[in-house]
Amino acid sequence: MPKKAKPAGTGKEEGPVPCKQLKMEAVMGPSTLNFSSPSSLFESLISPIKTETFFKEFWEQKPLLIQRDDPELAVYYQSLFRLSDLKSLCSQGMYYGRDVNVCRCISGKKKVLNKDGKVHFLQLRKDFDQKRATIQFHQPQRFKNELWRIQEKLECYFGSLVGSNVYITPAGSQGLPPHYDDVEVFILQLEGEKHWRLYHPTVPLARVYSVEAEDRIGMPAHEFTLKPGDLLYFPRGTIHQADTPPGLAHSTHVTISTYQNHSWGDFLLDTISGLVFDTAKEDIEFRAGIPRQLLLQVETTALETRRLSGFLRTLADRLEGTSELLSADMKKDFVMNRLPPYVGDEAELSTPAFLGGQLPRLDSVVRLKFKDHVVLMVGPDQHPSSHGLRFPLSHMDALKQLWNSSAISVKDLKLTTDEEKESLVLSLWTECLIQVV
C-alpha cells in the first residue's frame, strides 16, 4: 500500500470561541462524484468551488469550508464508511497500530488506549462507549472500494501519493490535541457532527507533524461545525483540533491527505544527485579530489565556498539545457506505492476486453490503457528497476508516440526494425497496458 502521511486529527473540548468564519458556499453541491477523469473527480469533490479559484485562492494558502445542505450527497458520504462497518472489518483480522489506533485527548495530551495484537470488535466498542475513545482506522481504501476509487483518481490528479484515515469519535469527546500536519488535508464529514477550531500556523507549509500547546496557539482563527456532506480543506501547517459536540450522536469523518514531502526543496534534493552524476561523467573538475583534511575542518574557507558556488553555477547552466533528468527517488516512490487503477467488479478482470483483447501485430492500431498510471522514467543501466517494464533508451521515442497518441499504427512506431516494433507492443500488451482498436 502507499506510504501515507499522518492525516489531520481531532482537537480538544472547549466551549465555542467567537471568531471569524471561513468562506462558505451556500450553493447546493453535486449528488455524487464524477469519476469520468481525475480532473472531473476533483472538480466534483470541491463543487461548487471552481478548480481555478481553489488553486488561486486556497491551495497552500488558507482553509476552505464547503457546507452543503444536500441530503443525497450526505447519504453518499455516509456510504463511504460507517461505525457499523467496524464489526465486519474486525472479523477480517485487524491489528492495533497497523490498522487501528484507539486514543483520547485528556488535558491537552493524547492518551493511546491500544491493546496488543488483534483487534476484537467487542473490546473496541467497549473502549468507544465507556472510555469515550476515538477510533482511528488506517488506510480504509484497502477495504472500501469507493474510497479506493476516490484516492486512485486523486493520485492521478495530484501526481502525489494520497492517504486516508477514518476518525470515529463519541459524543462529548475528542481524540487528538491541537496539532499540525505535514500534508494537505481534505476532510469529508460522513456521520454525525464535528466541531472544528483552526488556528494560524506557527510553521506555514510545515514539513513535519507537531503537537502544539494550547497556551501557544492563541484564539481560533476559524470555528465551525461540519455535518454529513460537508468538506473542509486546510494546508499543511494549519493548527487544528476538533471534538464531537455533547448530547449528539457519534461523529465519523475521513481525512484524505496528499503532498507529503512534495515541495520544491524535496524535488531539488531528489534530482540534484542525478544531475551531479551525469555532470561528473563529463567534467573532470567534478571528479577531482577535495582538499586534504577538508572533512576535519570546523569551518569552510572562502576558497572552498567559492569552489562549491562555481560547481552549483555549472549545474544550473547544465540544468537549463537539459530536457530529461535521471529519474530519482520521488518518482520511483510514487510509481511503486500508488494505488492501482480501479477496474470495478472482480469479474471484469478476466474479460477479454480487460486482458487486452486481440494480440497486436505489425499492421494493428493500438492505444495505451491506464494512461494516468503510466510513467516514463530514464535511469542508469547499473540500477535495474524492480518495478515496471524496462526498455533500451532507443525505445523512448516510440514510447512517447504511444503516450501522446489516442491511437497509433504499430508500423509507424519510431523503431529501426519491424521486429522491435512488434516486440515492444507485445511486451506492453502482455502487461495489459495497450489494446488493439
Interval 188-204: pLDDT, tens: 999 999 999 999 999 99
Percentage of residues in the chain having pLDDT higher than 90: 73
Structure confidence by residue, pLDDT tens digits, 94-128: 999 999 999 999 999 999 999 999 999 999 999 99
Helix (H, G, I), strand (E, B) or coil at 204: coil
| Contact criterion met (CB below 8 Å) for 156 and 373 | yes
Q: What pLDDT score was predicted for residue 55?
A: 98
Looking at residue 357, its pLDDT comes to 73
- pLDDT band of residue 326 (cuts 50, 70, 90) is low
Nearest Cα to 86, choosing from 10, 174, 168? 168
On whether the CB atoms of residues 350 and 20 are closer than 8 A, the answer is: no
| Mean pLDDT for the stretch of residues 142-163 | 96
Distance, in Å, from the CA atom of 188 to the CA atom of 191, rounded to the nearest integer, reads 9
Burial class (CB in 10 A: 0-12, 13-18, 19+), 434: buried
Contact 190, 226 (CB under 8 A): no
- Could you tell me which residue, 25 or 84, shows the higher pLDDT? 84
- What pLDDT does 126 receive? 96
Phi/psi zone of residue 357: left (φ > 0), alpha (ψ -120 to 50 degrees), beta?
left
Residues constituting the chain: 437
pLDDT tens-digit map of 65-94? 999 989 999 999 999 999 999 999 999 999
Q: Tell which wins on pLDDT, 375 or 26.
A: 375
Q: Cell 540534484 maps to which residue?
A: 272
The C-alpha atoms of residue 366 and residue 429 are separated, in whole angstroms, by 9
CB-based contact 224:65 (threshold 8 Å):
yes
Average pLDDT, the chain: 88
| pLDDT of res. 332 | 86
Q: CA 165, CA 176: separation in Å to the nearest integer?
A: 14
CA distance 309 to 323: 23
Measured CA to CA in angstroms, residue 55 lies from 28, 52, 59, 261 at distances of 21, 5, 5, 19
In the prediction, which pLDDT does 376 show? 83
Is the predicted pLDDT of residue 351 greater than 60, yes or no?
Answer: no
Q: What is the pTM of this model?
A: 0.85
The residues that bridge with 368 in the sheet, in sequence order, are 434
Of 348 and 194, more confident:
194
- Residue 177 pLDDT more than 50? yes
Of residues 193, 163, 198, the one with CA closest to residue 178: 198
How far is 302 from 308, CA to CA, in rounded Å?
A: 10
What would the pLDDT profile of 382-428 be if each residue is shown by its tens digit?
555 556 788 998 999 999 999 999 999 999 999 999 999 999 999 99
Are 207 and 186 in contact by the 8 Å Cβ rule? The answer is no
Beta strands in 151-217 (DSSP E): 162-169, 179-180, 184-191, 194-199, 210-211
Query: pLDDT > 70: what percent of the chain?
Result: 87
Residues paired with residue 233 on neighbouring β-strands, in sequence order: 64, 186
What angle (nearest 5°) sits at the alpha carbon of residue 392, between those of residues 386 and 395?
120
